[in-house]
Amino acid sequence: MKTGYLKAFAATMCLCLSAGTVHAAQKALLIGAGVYPYLEPDAQLSGPANDVRQMADFLKGDWGFASSDVRILVEEGAAKNNILGSITGWLASETRPGDRVIIYYSGHGSQVPDRNGDEEDGLDETFVPTDYGRRGARAEDMLTDDEIASALSTLKGREVILIADSCHSGTVNRDVVPDLVSKGLDAKARYLPFSGVSRSLPVVRDEEPLARETNVHLTLSAALPHQLAWETNGSGIFTQNLIRGLRTREADLNGNGRVTTAELLNYLRPRTEQWCQRVEDCRDLQFTPNMSPRNEAFILQPASAEGPVQTVTGNTADDVSDVLPEQSSQEIKVSILPGSVHQIGDEVQFQLTSAVDGYLTLFDLTVEDDLVLLFPTDEDRSAGKTGRIRANSALTVPDPSYGFSFEAEAPAGKGKLLAIVTEDPVDLENLLAANGEFEPIGDKIDFMKELSGRLNKVWTADNANRSARWAAGYQDYEIRQ
């Protein structure tokens, strides 16, 4: 049987960093809530003011923001009315539909009882402004997601990016928020428990709370629902890695000169999770950055004539890998037999080895830039081949039981294979079943966006939320005349 031949896939949201001439207006509101004059000493944070300074330096130095484009609210300036007024006043008056707005918050997050019945779990997510506590522990003095959504409604038509280096973990109370300073560790959780909230068991949620309440283009947050965000050495760990990944382009995982949101998410998560594994008090709840939406493909760059936020709409292998970058590729070995260079008409097999037990999905991104599902196909399912792959045990496609072979076909050129192994049983069944006939997938970028969104979902089957475990690797090939 013939396929177009090898090449891979990718899906997510795009974040491109090349500086250029700024055409559309762009404004940034940067909020650092670290000094709380009405709260006890152990509630104080050393990092938010530093985070805001670093973010301002990045926006002005790397993304071309003018000083007048950036408003900073820190310490007493990060009071509730100042924050809301800066959104509904300054941002609303200084921008117009089509402009880009970045709102960045660094500080404590919390949860309080829902006041209008719109929350399934009965809780509103909040930011904690620095004037909280002046009248005691009153929920109405926090800044709720409903209030943020109402303020953002004044920015209708703007392309809003909301970044939060905080958390909203309703599974913890003040007694269990770690005091690592007393243990000789310079690390602190960015969560302020509210005395009116109690819960014996966590409500597990596969969505970003602030994104659910607010109509924004992109939400980036330091931690999944019911996790803690952390700071160390006077800066938020999420913010440190976010700025580093963008400024140095370490987050450009496929090396094509632009950073996509999929690449950024897959750059951030291993770094925060690895830090968390070194800190005993972090391990129970984990520390996993989140993004919403996860099934889009935005190109984020200095605002241009084409618009401040663009989407991946191309048709090349680079576009695909911008949406679905390599992830833990060392855990997958993809071999093309008898080699990666073939003549038209040569028979080929693909041999795959995984470091972990899981489920294999194999795609061909062909010489003609088509995307074809190679495994598991309809025929594989009919033959009882579910895609299960055992650790360190080679799986060959097609094997002798197929009764046919794959053949390298014209035109000549270069392509890629994409192999994905999901260690967790991520639900890809209906997505793959709809494309299992060895035919090019109709809209491969939309397909990849959906696939990437499912792979990057919140895994809720364990006691603590975390990212789903999967690996993806690409393998180049060439077909010659």
Q: Residue 129, exposed/middle/buried by CB under 10 A (0-12, 13-18, 19+)?
A: buried
Q: Provide the percentage of residues in the chain whose pLDDT is more than 70.
A: 82
Residue 264 makes CB contacts below 8 A (sequence gap 6+) with 15, 220, 242, 245, 246, 251, 291
- The pLDDT score that the predictor gives to residue 193 is 76
Q: If you classify domain 317-480 with CATH, what class do you get?
A: mainly beta
Those residues whose C-beta lies under 8 Å from the C-beta of residue 479, and which sit 6 or more positions away, are 5, 342, 343, 344, 367, 408, 409, 410, 411, 412, 413, 414, 415
Per residue in 222-239, pLDDT (tens digit) is 988 778 899 999 999 999
Q: Tell which wins on pLDDT, 312 or 466.
A: 466
Least confident of 75-84, 210-219, 313-322, 363-372: 210-219
Tell me which H or E stretch contains 449.
helix 444-455
Can you give the length of the chain in residues?
481
Query: Is 20 a residue whose pLDDT tops 90?
Result: no
Q: How far apart (Å, rounded) are the C-alpha atoms in residues 189 and 228?
A: 6
157/92 Cα distance (integer angstroms): 11
What band does 302 get if pLDDT is binned at 50, 70 and 90? low
414 or 6: which leads in pLDDT: 414
* Amino acid 121: pLDDT: 55
At 345-357, the pLDDT tens digits run: 999 999 999 999 9
Q: How crowded is residue 278: how many other Cβ atoms within 10 Å of its Cβ?
A: 10
Q: What is the mean pLDDT of residues 169-178?
A: 41
pLDDT of residue 192: 85
DSSP 137: S
Distance from C-alpha of 61 to C-alpha of 473, rounded to nearest angstrom: 34
Average of per-residue pLDDT values in the chain? 84
| Residue 66 to residues 63, 105, 395, Cα–Cα distance (Å) | 9, 20, 55
The pLDDT score that the predictor gives to residue 22 is 43
- In this predicted model, which residue has the larger pLDDT, 20 or 74? 74
Q: Going by CATH, does the domain composed of 26-248 fall within 3.40.50.1460? A: yes
Query: Taking 50 as the threshold, does the pLDDT of residue 364 lie above it?
Result: yes
Q: Note the pLDDT of residue 227.
A: 84
CA 198 centroid distance within chain: 29
At residue 127, does pLDDT exceed 90? yes
Mean pLDDT of 1-29: 46
Q: Got the DSSP string for 250-307?
A: TT-TT-SS---HHHHHHHHHHHHHHHHHTSHHHHTT----EEE-SS--EEE-S--TT-
Query: What pLDDT does residue 21 have?
Result: 39
Least confident span in 28-32, 84-88, 216-220, 283-287: 283-287
pTM, rounded to two decimals:
0.85
What is the average pLDDT across 193-221? 60
- The larger pLDDT score, comparing residue 64 to residue 49, is at 49
- What's the confidence (pLDDT) of residue 6? 32
pLDDT at 197 over 70: no
Token duo for residue 65: 């923001």
Which residues, at least 6 apart from 222, have a Cβ–Cβ distance to it below 8 Å? 164, 165, 166, 167, 190, 229, 236, 237, 238, 239, 272, 287, 289, 290
Helix (H, G, I), strand (E, B) or coil at 150: helix
Per the model's pLDDT, the better-predicted residue between 5 and 315 turns out to be: 315
pLDDT above 60: residue 199: no
Mean pLDDT of 42-50: 94
**pLDDT confidence bin for 318, thresholds 50/70/90:** confident
Q: What is the pLDDT of residue 316?
A: 84
**Annotated domain spans of the chain:** 26-248, 317-480
Rounded mean pLDDT of 110-114? 82
**Predicted local distance difference test score (pLDDT) of residue 215:** 64
pLDDT grade for 174, boundaries at 50, 70 and 90? very low
